[in-house]
Each structure stands twice: as C-alpha cells, then as structure tokens.
Amino acid sequence: MKDVIGFGAINLDLIYKVKDENLLKELKISETAISGDRFEELKKLLREKAELKLKSGGGSAANTVYALARMGFKTGYLGKVGKNEEGKFLIKNLSPVDTSRICFGKKSGICLVLVDGKERIIHILPNSNNTLTYEEIDLTYARKTKFLHLTSFTGDLPFQAQKRLVKKMSGGTCRLSFDPGRCYAQKGLKALLPIIEKSYIIFPSEEEVRLLTGENYKQGAKILLNHGAKIVVCTLGAKGSYILNKNEEYEIPTDKKVKVADPTGAGDVYAAGFLAGLLLNLALKKCGQLGTKLAEVSITGYGRNRYPTREALQKVVKWLSE
C-alpha cells in the first residue's frame, strides 16, 4: 500500500535563467505545447541568450510524489517515458519513488523552463506522454494507495485514460487528489466534471479557478465544492493559498521575505506538503501552513535541488504543534 501514487505527464526540465526582459516578453506564455521544430528553434535561441542552470526531472505529479518520497512517504508513479537516455535519466531522477509501473514509448517529454527569479515560462514537447493509453495502466497498482494524485497531460489520449481510471476506481478506499493545471482548466468545467465529482481534494490555481468557473477564487471554489470536491485548495502564487471545505475556510499567507531562485514546482511541493498533512491527520489549516512552508523551502534553489527532506518536514510539523 502506497501513501500517494502520482499519475501525469513526466518531463525532462531544462531550466534556463533569462536576464533579457524583452526575450521573456516575447515568449510570455505560462504553459504551452510546441512542435519539435519549434522546440529546436527555442533551444537554439536560449543557448545564445540565456544560461542553462539545471537539467532536472519534472512534471507536476512527478514533482509531488518525489517531494513526498524525500519526506519519507511511500510513493509510486504512473506515466510514460522514452526508451532513450532522457527516459533513463527521468527514472533515476525519481528515486526513491517506485517507478516499476512506468511504461515506455519512443521519446521522453521535454520542457524548456525559463525563469528570472519572479516568474516562469514553460514550453513543452510532450513526445511519449501523449501516447499513454488506458490499456497501459496497471489498475490493481493504481488502487493500492491512500491517495491517487492526478495532474495534466497536453494530449487527449491520456486525459481520456485518466477519466476511465477514475470511473473504475469508484467505491474503493483510495481518495482522489486532482491538480488540473492550466492545460486542463482550459478544457472547461464540463470536460473535467468526471474527475472533479470524484475528487476528495483539488488544487487549482487562481487563474485555473477563473478559467473553470468564470468567477474569482472564492466564489469559484464554492462552485467546485458544489460539484463534488470535498476540499478545494486554491493556490495564489506569492499571495499564498485559499482553503475551503463544507465547514471551514482559511487564507494562508506566504513569507514575503523568502528569496526566490526558481518558482518552478512550488505548487507541486505545496500539494505534497498538504497531502503530507492529511496523511499525518493534521487539521486543515495546518495542512495549508505545512504546504506553504515546504514550498517556500523549495523555491530557494533550482529544480528539485531544494525540495524538502524528512528533517524539514519534522521541523515544520514541530513548529505547527507549538
């Protein structure tokens, strides 16, 4: 039995530090899928005008279960990588997550991540991620977890596979955690209802709530709650987070003094911290505070280099109990 199994796109992140504001404005799309030709054009441009800071494993669900594994929880992963050097790197980079159910295609997904210390821009070459089918999922494995954490793909094939999996898992003891990402939020509320209706907890950003409901994050969270989610956690970037369930409502601020090196994955680590709090049976507000503090640790370095450890988890949990 795992504590959390992640299921989403998994990518090789090439993280570039960009100092040219004009270049950032030119490429300013928060997250988009690109073709192989466009990928090569951008990579050439970045070699000339940016600094490659790190090559790291990436993907929202992968980041979350990796952070939980570093904190000492039992985690696994469902996804697809290429039978190439990038695929080997991604699997090795996920250790100590159980990767035994990852399947293989031709080429691994790659992300170009542009950061300037304040924001990030992501361009995705999905490759094998978008070829994942329902038939490739180990259903027995997917059920043997306390939480199944779903995140987005850019393609429709794996999205349909996720919806079929959620339908098959109805009535079991596994609780569903869902982080839609901008990619899925753009599909609209109706498309995501089969997942939202079965979700114990969802982690949309402020922008994603607006895309899904047409409302601000507080009103939008109520709409999502009314559609079946038990807990809605809206991440607000540097402003913090907003937590809502049937009986409780909280706004959790961030520490504005934290020096940001790379915000990539901050939301994923926040989700890891929140799920860790639920697994430790913490109160809802403390789950949000735990997620916030651990995310603040992660953004002080690049990629997964500063993801929280078991010691960091214990330190924050002790602080919360005082």
- β-pair partners for 15: 54, 113
pLDDT tens digits along 75-124: 999 999 999 999 999 999 999 999 999 999 999 999 988 877 667 788 89
Mean pLDDT of the chain: 91
Domain of 216 in residue numbering reads as 2-10+59-107+128-321
On whether residue 185 sits in a domain, the answer given is: yes
On whether residue 258 sits in a domain, the answer given is: yes
Q: Check whether 164 has a pLDDT greater than 90.
A: yes
Residue 255: what pLDDT? 78
- Averaged over 146-171, what is the pLDDT? 93
pLDDT tens digits along 213-246: 999 999 999 999 999 999 999 999 889 899 999 9
Residue 261: what pLDDT? 65
On whether residue 88 sits in a domain, the answer given is: yes
Using CA atoms, how far apart are residues 134 and 169, in angstroms rounded to an integer?
13
On whether residue 292 sits in a domain, the answer given is: yes
Reported pTM: 0.91
On whether residue 31 sits in a domain, the answer given is: no
How many domains does one find in the chain? Answer: 1
Cα Rg, the chain, nearest whole Å? 18
On whether residue 114 sits in a domain, the answer given is: no
Most confident among 64-78, 105-119, 242-256, 300-314 (mean pLDDT): 64-78
On whether residue 24 sits in a domain, the answer given is: no
CATH of the domain at 162: 3.40.1190.20
On whether residue 223 sits in a domain, the answer given is: yes
